[in-house]
Amino acid sequence: MQSLIRYAAWMIASALLFSCSESEPPIDQGPTPISLDKPDYFSDQQVMPSDNPLTEEGVRLGRMLFYEKKLSQDGTISCSSCHQQEKGFSDGLQFSPGVNGTLGSMNAMALSNLHWQTRFFWNGRAVSLEEQALIPIEDPKEMNLPMKEAISRLQGDVNYPGLFQAAFGSDQVTSENIGKALAQFERTLISANSKFDKWIRGEVELSPEEELGLELFFTHPEPSIQLRGGNCGDCHLGFMTSGDPNGFAGFHNNGLDSDKSLKSGLESVTENPFDKGKFKAPSLRNIALTAPYMHDGRFSSLEEVLDHYNEHIQNSETLDVLILEASNEILDPAEPIRLYLSAEEKQAIIAFLHTLTDEEFVSNPKFSNPFN
The per-residue pLDDT for range 315-371, each reduced to its tens digit, is 999 999 999 989 999 988 888 899 999 999 999 999 999 999 999 999 999 999 999
Query: What are 300-311's pLDDT values in tens digits?
Result: 999 999 999 999
124 and 201 fall within a common domain: no
- 232 labeled part of a ligand binding site: yes
| Range(s) of the domain holding residue 232 | 195-354
Please compute, for residue 160, the number of CA atoms within 13 A of its CA located in the half-sphere on the CB side.
21
Is residue 5 in some structural domain?
no
202 and 291 fall within a common domain: yes
Report the pLDDT value the prediction gives residue 333, as an integer from 0 to 100: 80
152 and 87 fall within a common domain: yes
- 235 labeled part of a ligand binding site: yes
Is residue 175 in some structural domain?
yes
Report the pLDDT value the prediction gives residue 26, as an integer from 0 to 100: 55
204 and 162 fall within a common domain: no
213 and 178 fall within a common domain: no
Please compute, for residue 76, the number of CA atoms within 13 A of its CA located in the half-sphere on the CB side.
9
| CA angle (273, 109, 217) in 5-degree steps | 80
Report the pLDDT value the prediction gives residue 273, as an integer from 0 to 100: 97
The helix/strand/coil state of 279 is strand
CB atoms within 10 A of CB 105: 10
Is residue 46 in some structural domain?
no
Report the pLDDT value the prediction gives residue 13, as an integer from 0 to 100: 43
The helix/strand/coil state of 226 is coil
158 and 234 fall within a common domain: no
Report the pLDDT value the prediction gives residue 60, as an integer from 0 to 100: 98
212 and 323 fall within a common domain: yes
- 312 labeled part of a ligand binding site: no
177 and 74 fall within a common domain: yes
- 20 labeled part of a ligand binding site: no
Is residue 85 in some structural domain?
yes
Please compute, for residue 104, the number of CA atoms within 13 A of its CA located in the half-sphere on the CB side.
25
125 and 64 fall within a common domain: yes
Number of domains in the chain: 2
Last residue of a domain, which of 140, 175, 190? 190
Tell me the CATH number at 65.
1.10.760.10
Is residue 247 in some structural domain?
yes
- Give the chain's residues under pLDDT 70: 1-28, 245-246
CB atoms within 10 A of CB 225: 6
